[in-house]
Amino acid sequence: QVQVVESGGGLVHTGGSLRLSCTASGLTFDDYAMAWFRQAPGKEREGVSCIHWSGASTAYAGSVKGRFTISRDNAKNTLYLQMESLKPEDTAMYYCAASRFWRDGLLLQSDYKYWGQGTQVTVSS
């Protein structure tokens, strides 16, 4: 049984930092591209960042590029998202997801088979 569990969310002031973690079990972690998505209240879920199973390629949404860094530790079956210079508009539920596909960094939600329950990030102004 595959389990994907996010952690590390919380409340932070504008300009602050957070690091999200995601641990996946029940799958061969380094066979999967991994990604972070987020959903703000009243908005559709959107892709934030993704990383190739090797860790060699990454991609970011324009709204977070230069502020967020995705990484993975295949030995620990863990994905990370380091978030810097946080803004109120980053407030959302953040989800981790796993996919057997890599489309050169294109974040297609339909590609992602396994999802976590999410971790809440709230940025106060």
For residue 50, name the pLDDT band (cuts at 50, 70, 90): very high
What is the Rg, in whole angstroms, of the alpha carbon atoms belonging to the chain? 13
Task: Give residue-wise pLDDT tens across range 64-100.
Answer: 999 999 999 999 999 999 999 999 999 999 999 999 9
Residue 105: burial class (beta carbons within 10 Å; 0-12, 13-18, 19+): middle
| Res 52 pLDDT > 90 | yes
